[in-house]
Structure 1
Amino acid sequence: MRATSIGHAGILIETEAGSIVCDPWFVPAFFGSWFVFPRNDQLSDDLRERIENADYLYITHLHADHHDEPFLREHFRRDIPILLPGYPTREQQRTLAKLGFTNFIRTEDKVEMELAPGLTIAIHTEVSITDGPGGDSAMVVSDGKTRIVNQNDCRTTDLAALGAHGPVDLHWIQYSGAIWYPMVYEYPDDMMRTLVDNKVESQFTRAMRYVDTLNPRYVVPSAGPPAFLDDDLWHLNVIEGDELSIFPDQRSFMKRLADGGHHGILAIPGTEIEITPDDVTVTHPMPDDDVERIFSEKEQYLRQYQADWKPWLDDLKASWNPPSTDLIATLKAWWEPLLRMAPTLRGAVGANCLIRTGDLEILIDFPNGEVRPFDGEEYEFRFTIPRALVETVAAQKAVDWSNSLLLSARFSAWRAGDFNEYLYNFFKSLSVERMRRTEAEAIRKLNPPTETEPEIELGDYVVQRRCPHRNADLAVFGEIESSDDGDVLVCTLHGWKFDCDTGRCLTSTDHPLRIRRR
């Protein structure tokens, strides 16, 4: 079996029985903020032809660095069989059907399916609102001799199921950041340094937990980091290593893999990895010295990349919507019916949110379910966003502002207290279908069933098995950290922390953990 990197989370998997192209991303995403790193706009004609003529297409989820709508529209035949994750809604299928695709193979969560003699797949889904638009997924592919796990940036909570298909030969996994936190927050540099370092360590720890559990023969760091070529965002590139950014490149995680006794493979777009039961062969599209220079002379590499794409980026910025006279009225008519649908979510947010767009200030009154001009009211959350971006996503009726706007990192944020996932869930759920799911999820989390959650032993403690944040299995992801101030349980899936004496969540509010000493 051969797996070829096509950039970021993109992989072309080729077997004797057929080929699958996964997450082909080429057009910069999120208002031109994210570019593929290393660049993939110089792939060989042969590889591009193999990508565009693959037997199957698999899109893990609808984020724009995986679901590249312009590329999908222009480069694939309309009848290519599309492998659909078994999400609870048909949003992904409808989105692809709008692009003209007609041939869908709907899979069942975690269940192996034979696509052809000698080619089986199993797609695993995560369906919490925090997993992204409609959910996220990972795929296991086998040719009967070797097995690839394409985990990309799917934060699966059931590692036992992911590894149940058999020994893993090649594990593609995200290790770098894919969020705007903490860089956009209005924190002093010393606090930002601590938050960035903690976030990077959390990312690495989570990825290593996956790798340690699956114990693959080889690991390919993938699905990030992006490159930031706009001068306004250049500071998010990690070049020297001390930047206040959560986007370290492959070299950092390759070292962590080696320190952990695992074999990492550094792949750039065009790198082919041929894997057999007995051997692995890695072929780069350029000499090894040139591959090394991408990272050792990274600033020079990125500056040339930036110069090549500057005309495209300038044209993109010129296309953003100018100010309109009815922005507040548009948001009010759109959002207030959604707020009425979600009393549990509104109560979980529990405060006002201010959106600043230049001289126009918009208040979302979550307790009362209203959207109106700001008039000096108290608020606990604030976003400062360029007016053109808000106008553009409003004109598009973008149902997921995380995907369409926030991942661009072209904004700043402030909050009075702890992280509130329900606030962000609102911005991810700006349609009737999504808001129904979001409200239902809020009800499940805040009014859980009365059945007792199974307990496990962790160090000196007995603790509920599932993390109250996102249901992660603490038998896999739970760790006890001890200090002079007492013991803390850390769920390494997202780095959430809980006081071992009280069960109080130290990361956010309203997520207590049931825990006691043995």
Structure 2
Amino acid sequence: MCHDAAFLFVADGRSVLHGNDARLTAAQARRAKHLAGDRLDVMALQASGASWHPICYEYPAAEMAELSASKRMSKLRSVQRLVRQTAPELAVPFAGPPCFLDAEVARLNWVLDQKDGAFCDPEVATDWLREHLPAQHFDHFKPGDSLDLDTGEIVRDPVSAGFTFADAARDPYLERYAADRAPHIAGVFAENPEPGPGLFDRFAAHFEYLGGLSDYFLRQIAMLVRFEVTGPHGGTWDVRLSPDGVSVGEAAPDARPHYRITTAGRWVESVLSGRMAWEDLLISFRLSLYRDPDVYNDHLVGLLKHANAPALQAVEAYETERDWSERITVEWDGGRYDIPRYCPHAGEDLAVGAIVRDGRVHCLAHNFSFDLATGVCVNARAANLTSRRIG
């Protein structure tokens, strides 16, 4: 029962569900508990998503703060509901916040701010979850800590015990950390040198290859993506992905891109040469993005992420062969609405994995929001929810 690297361990009458760095649905977590004999001794949870949105996007400060707060709370509420559904003996928040040691991305360390950042640290996540689920046992761990599953005793590592995520201690710690890792960071740059001549030709060939992998994905993307590639042999290049295929060329002054992605040529070259995948580049935060309109396109990211025909075919089959017959009723502002039980994006059970707020269904698995009146996804490109008012 694995989803995005979630694992269930059962031995000697004890069970651990390792859900860090995973997006488990409530149904998957409940199934794991059932497989473990209807008891989970420990459930590790991802309390901060590994996401480049909104951090890498070009938003005004006020909008960035609003989006970051929404992202943070959406993730915490998702964890809250997952724990409520499974009731482990001990729930342990993991993940986040990221920190940046290289000067190229050090400006992003504002995400560590405990008040405004999109990613909360384990201490903050544990405190929030304890407040909102007071009957549930929560704790968090640092490197070297140990837990005895039979007694529940936690032994704290004496070195890690002195570490805190508090803002006042952060900057000196990061300076020392960056100095310690400087040779390794330099090694990464050495392994990913500046590109040579012909970068555009290699770039164009790469996207022409991607465009031949799935007609379905091209239909779902149907947009112009502009790449601003900085450094030697870079340029501003437009990639038009449409049902008719893919075309790549120099950016046209009068063309309006839906996505704009800016990054250094050395990282583009690393993707083209196979040293890293597009997802590695995105999650490295070594790029900036802009959307117009500001609507997420999951299929564009999926094409870059998977980049092979069998995986794309599997996604297509899942999205086109789902059973929409099972439906539920939700209420908002005195009205009752009939909606499918499962999210049209990735199949989260909306009966337990969603909230209704401001006339919208908010799926907590991936933060997709659907307008109840129209069924339209308002913050991403996704299939219509097919909602209808029944009372």
- Which TM class, normalised by the smaller chain length? 0.7 to 0.9
CA deviations on 1:202-255 (whole Å, 9 max, x unpaired) are 111111121111111112222333322123333433444245x42221111011
SS at match of 1:385: strand
The question of 1:241 aligning with 2:114 is answered: yes
Match of 2:183 in 1: 311
Say which of 209, 223, 235 aligns to 1:360.
Answer: 235
Match of 1:506 in 2: 378
Say which of 139, 149, 153 aligns to 1:265.
Answer: 139
Say whether the 8 Å CA contact 1:328–1:373 is kept in structure 2.
Answer: no
Say whether the 8 Å CA contact 2:47–2:75 is kept in structure 1.
Answer: yes
What residue identity is the alignment partner of 2:32? L
Say whether the 8 Å CA contact 1:178–1:225 is kept in structure 2.
Answer: no
Question: Aligned equivalents of 2:53 and 2:66: distance in 1?
Answer: 12
Assess, with a 3 A threshold, how the Cα gap between structure 1 residues 295 and 211 changes in structure 2: closer, same or farther: farther
Match of 1:412 in 2: 288
Match of 1:388 in 2: 266
Question: Aligned equivalents of 1:239 and 1:326: distance in 2?
Answer: 39
Question: Aligned equivalents of 2:166 and 2:59: distance in 1?
Answer: 32
Match of 1:429 in 2: 306
Say which of 50, 54, 72 aligns to 1:178.
Answer: 50
Match of 1:205 in 2: 77
SS at match of 2:153: strand
Cα offset, 1:510, TM superposition: 4.0
CA deviations on 1:392-423 (whole Å, 9 max, x unpaired) are 2222264x3112x1111111111112111111
Question: Aligned equivalents of 1:455 and 1:281: distance in 2?
Answer: 44
Question: Aligned equivalents of 1:440 and 1:209: distance in 2?
Answer: 29
Cα offset, 1:444, TM superposition: 4.7
Assess, with a 3 A threshold, how the Cα gap between structure 1 residues 455 and 240 changes in structure 2: closer, same or farther: closer
Match of 1:251 in 2: 123
Assess, with a 3 A threshold, how the Cα gap between structure 1 residues 436 and 310 changes in structure 2: closer, same or farther: same
The question of 1:320 aligning with 2:192 is answered: yes
Match of 2:279 in 1: 402
SS at match of 1:184: coil
- TM-score of the superposed pair, with normalisation by structure 1: 0.67
Match of 1:143 in 2: 11
- TM-score of the superposed pair, with normalisation by structure 2: 0.88
Q: Over aligned residues, Cα RMSD in angstroms?
A: 2.3
CA deviations on 1:46-78 (whole Å, 9 max, x unpaired) are xxxxxxxxxxxxxxxxxxxxxxxxxxxxxxxxx
Cα offset, 1:289, TM superposition: 5.3
Assess, with a 3 A threshold, how the Cα gap between structure 1 residues 286 and 363 changes in structure 2: closer, same or farther: same
The question of 1:275 aligning with 2:149 is answered: yes
Question: Aligned equivalents of 2:361 and 2:175: distance in 1?
Answer: 43
Say which of 312, 323, 326 aligns to 1:438.
Answer: 312
Question: Aligned equivalents of 1:293 and 1:378: distance in 2?
Answer: 42
The question of 1:478 aligning with 2:362 is answered: no
Consecutive unaligned residues of structure 1, counting only runs of 5 or more, are 1-123, 127-135
Question: Aligned equivalents of 2:316 and 2:200: distance in 1?
Answer: 27
SS at match of 1:213: helix
CA deviations on 1:242-270 (whole Å, 9 max, x unpaired) are 45x42221111011121122222221111
CA deviations on 1:81-131 (whole Å, 9 max, x unpaired) are xxxxxxxxxxxxxxxxxxxxxxxxxxxxxxxxxxxxxxxxxxx133xxxxx
SS at match of 2:24: coil
CA deviations on 1:338-367 (whole Å, 9 max, x unpaired) are 312322211211111111112412221212
Q: Percent identity?
A: 24
Say which of 462, 486, 489 aligns to 2:338.
Answer: 462
Assess, with a 3 A threshold, how the Cα gap between structure 1 residues 361 and 443 changes in structure 2: closer, same or farther: farther
Question: Aligned equivalents of 1:295 and 1:171: distance in 2?
Answer: 28
Pairwise mapping of residues 79-90 of structure 1 onto structure 2 (< 5 A)? Answer: none
Say whether the 8 Å CA contact 2:49–2:95 is kept in structure 1.
Answer: no
Question: Aligned equivalents of 2:304 and 2:340: distance in 1?
Answer: 30
Consecutive unaligned residues of structure 2, counting only runs of 5 or more, are none
